Amino acid sequence: MRRLYPSLALALWAGLAQAAGPVDLLQLYEQTLATNPVLKGKEYTIDQAHAQRDQALSKLLPQVMAVGNYSWNEFRQDRGRLPGYSVDDYQGMRGVIQARQALFDLPSYLGYQSAGASIQQTEQELEAVRMATTADLIDRYFMVLEAVDEMSYVEGEKALTTSEMQRIRRMYERQMAMVTDLYEVEAYYQTLLTHEIEVGNAKAVALEKLRETTGMPVPDLAPLARDRLPEVPGQVDEWVREANTNHPALKALQYALDAAEAAIGSARAQHLPQLSLQMSEIYSDNQGYDNRPIGRYNSASVGVQLNVPIYSGGEIEAAAKEAVARYQTTQEKRVERQREIDKEIRTAYLNARTGRAKVDSTAKEIEFREKARVAQEKSYELGVATIVALLESKKNLLKARFEYAGARYDYIRSLVALRLWSGSLSLRDIEDINGWLAGAKPKR
């Protein structure tokens, strides 16, 4: 299956490159799954775990070996009372087939169980990495959109300020405006140019980060079109309980504990006897003791072999202590990870609640800032307000728009963080968020 990844990635890249409209989140998610090296590397660790389990299983399966030997021999024998030696040149041939089947090998069996738990561990680790990569993709996608929104605000304000600057310049030429007013507007326009440079750089950096995740240059992105974002679902304790049950990182550590527990049993079982069935057949021609020439013969045998460990210099006990220490270390890691997940869920929930309120608050602020700007413009035209007050109202409105855009994207990030740390971030969530974008393709 993984041999199809390069061709699949090329097909996805070609499809995105030829897309007539902007690319949405779901398309980039599919591209990321096909090309992200972190995900693919984790998939190969599953293959590695399967191979290790097969190696452990092989110790419980029949072991068959064949050995063949062909030799050229010279046999010299003392003639006794006669001088010299008798010399006999001959060829010898010998073949042996041996088979062994474990009948009782508890260390190998427990090692096989440990390897099976390790497979489940790596599968859950892959799922945890997939969710983390998905959350990172969403974060980088909205980093680009946030920069795009800020750029549109700056460009719109720059266009208005250009008209305002030209109008004040004409008024100054007619001695209807002070030179300080013209300087203030020109300085504000230069401030907007500086903002434009900074936002342009932020957009370029965000696109490069998105390119790192997806593995391809990213064209235009589908913008966020939904005005009313959903409320924060559930209660924080519900999210924590869900994480304790479903989070793949905790599941992976539980499987690691199972593997470590089986490894302890395997290490301690090295003290136990091991019983195996032995079978062999020998064919020999001129291959007797010390390769002496004897007649051709066949010999077959079947028996059982019992190995009883007596003393190995303390190696078995030391291996058991090492396995116990590994188990305890994994147990503490699970507690540490559980506390981290609990903290992150509660933090994400608080951020989401605060973020939802901030979205509403900044939306209201924009409404009032727009009214304040209009009032300042009229006051300036009537000569009862200074240009400084007018420009200050414009700055405040632009800042409010920036904060509103940031609050919306931060709120979405907090919702995603809740799903991530609860262990429930899935394709369905991607499709839901993708539905909030303009021109996004429908759910599959």
Question: Of 261, 260, 255, 266, which Cα lies nearest the Cα of 122?
Answer: 255
Query: Can you read off the two tokens belonging to residue 35?
Result: 């090309």
Question: Of 47, 1, 127, which Cα lies nearest the Cα of 427?
Answer: 127
The model scores a pTM over 0.75: yes
Spatial contact of 393 and 327, defined as CB atoms under 8 Å apart: no
Burial class (CB in 10 A: 0-12, 13-18, 19+), 228: exposed
Task: Read off the DSSP letter of residue 222.
Answer: P
Concatenated DSSP letters of 295-359: --EEEEEEEEEEE-----TTHHHHHHHHHHHHHHHHHHHHHHHHHHHHHHHHHHHHHHHHHHHHH
Spatial contact of 157 and 402, defined as CB atoms under 8 Å apart: no
Cα separation, 156 vs 196, in Å, equals: 11
Spatial contact of 116 and 53, defined as CB atoms under 8 Å apart: yes
- Which helix (H) or strand (E) is 95 found in, with range? strand 85-104
Helix axes 179-214, 25-35, angle to 10 degrees: 40
Q: What is the residue-level pLDDT of the chain in tens, covering all 444 positions?
A: 454 444 444 444 445 545 457 899 999 999 999 999 999 999 999 999 999 999 999 999 999 999 999 888 888 887 766 666 777 888 889 899 999 999 999 999 999 999 999 999 999 999 999 999 999 999 999 999 999 999 999 999 899 888 888 888 888 788 877 888 888 888 989 999 999 999 999 999 999 999 999 998 987 899 999 888 999 999 999 999 999 999 999 999 999 999 999 999 999 999 999 999 999 999 888 777 777 788 888 889 999 999 999 888 898 999 999 999 999 999 999 999 999 999 999 999 999 999 999 999 999 999 999 999 999 988 888 888 888 888 889 999 999 999 999 999 999 999 999 999 999 999 999 999 999 998 766 555
Query: Can you read off the two tokens belonging to residue 304?
Result: 């059982």
Query: Can you read off the two tokens belonging to residue 21?
Result: 């409209």
Rounded to 5°, the CA angle 198-204-208 comes to 145
> Residue 359, Cβ neighbours under 10 Å: how many?
22
Handedness of CA 258, 261, 265, 270 (dihedral sign): positive
Question: Of 329, 214, 215, 213, which Cα lies nearest the Cα of 264?
Answer: 329
> Residue 366, Cβ neighbours under 10 Å: how many?
16
Cα separation, 401 vs 394, in Å, equals: 11
Q: Give residue 387's identity as a one-letter amino acid code.
A: I
